[in-house]
Amino acid sequence: MTTNRERILVASRGQSADRLPFFHYWRHCQVGWAERQARNQGMGICWVRPPYAEVLHDVRVTEEYTILAGRPVVRRTYTTPLGSVTQAEYREPGTGQWHANRSWRDSTPWLVEHPIKGPADYAVMRFIAEHTEYQADYFPIEQADDWLGGEGIVLDSLPHSPLQTLLISWIGSDDNRFFYHLADYPDLVDELYQALCKARLPLYELAARSPAQVAMHGDNVDGWLISPRLFERYLMPVYEAEAAALHARGKLLAVHMDGRLASLKHLIARTPIDILDGFHPIPMGDLALAEALSLWPDKCIWLGFPGAVYALGGQAVQRFALDLLREAAPGNHLAIIMSTENLVSNANLLALTEVLAQAALPLSIERIARIAATLKEAR
């Protein structure tokens, strides 16, 4: 009998599974009766854990709890021989007490102050990049792998690629700050990018040697922020270097691309990425599933079911899921993720499961019509 793990990996390697894989990320997954029922019907679980420990040399890190703009924040200060930088993050209630450093409402800490505020901060952050050591630590992967067994898959979690680190965490995109810095201080941005690229090179080999079969960059790629020029210059070389290390050991590279991708679709086709994680179809993305499948025949799409559709209720969820199956037929190199961004209600989780549990491959118009008929009978 094919396990969920086998099914996900078979689809991810471009082969035909017995039925369409579908799974939930542990970080968004409730634990209880609905989750158990969905898993009994074939839903897998996916864990994302780092294969490394990070060690900072000659950098002192301190934290204080304070108030910023009327909100409680945690301010972190990094002190180096070249000076100090600070960042502040807002943490909703429950952060650190539940899944993956998320709050009760499933939100990650939100950076409200980034460490790079002006030109003087670049030297400090470059020092930090150059004095960060990555050490192999496979225990988190081995532990999750042992717990899951065939119920799902464990991924290596890698930090944002260098450009996305700058855009999301170090400089920030608020008020277009990163883009102003790129225009005003291009040499400083490029030097820091290159330092990060060099510092991260050992991570690729650590991931390649990990027990996990897939390594994930949680890059949150969105074509409205990342232009084709930026993608080709700053992201593609990183993906190529990492894929080379992973592919040499038979591993797969996944990149979280949950944004609008129409402007990047032809460049994505040229990358060695194996899995597009979190692909959001229309209406939340701007690229139809059928077009994406035809554009990227050598890649597997892990489709994130759109949260906007969940907001419409169970019947709308099932109608949209059936439409996805029609677009996806015959269903190769595709898996469905219950959510890549938010929690899913019990009712919506079971509504989607009711459709996907019946999605034997190869998908056909007749088979999808039979699934639709069973849903009408159940109402």
For the entire predicted model, the pTM comes to 0.96
Q: What is the mean pLDDT of the chain?
A: 96
What band does 197 get if pLDDT is binned at 50, 70 and 90? very high
pLDDT in tens, 299-326: 999 999 999 999 999 999 999 999 999 9
Helices and strands counted in the chain (H then E): 15, 14
pLDDT in tens, 320-355: 999 999 999 999 999 999 999 889 999 999 999 999
Say yes or no to pLDDT of 29 above 80. yes
Q: Write out the H or E segment, with its range, that includes residue 71.
A: strand 71-80
Cα angle 162, 166, 169; round to 5: 115
Handedness of CA 183, 186, 192, 194 (dihedral sign): positive
Q: What is the average per-residue pLDDT within 219-247? A: 97
Amino acid at 318: Q
pLDDT in tens, 68-119: 888 899 999 999 999 999 999 999 888 888 787 888 888 888 899 999 999 9
Q: What is the average per-residue pLDDT within 24-42? A: 95
Of 125, 128, 89, 93, which Cα lies nearest the Cα of 109?
89
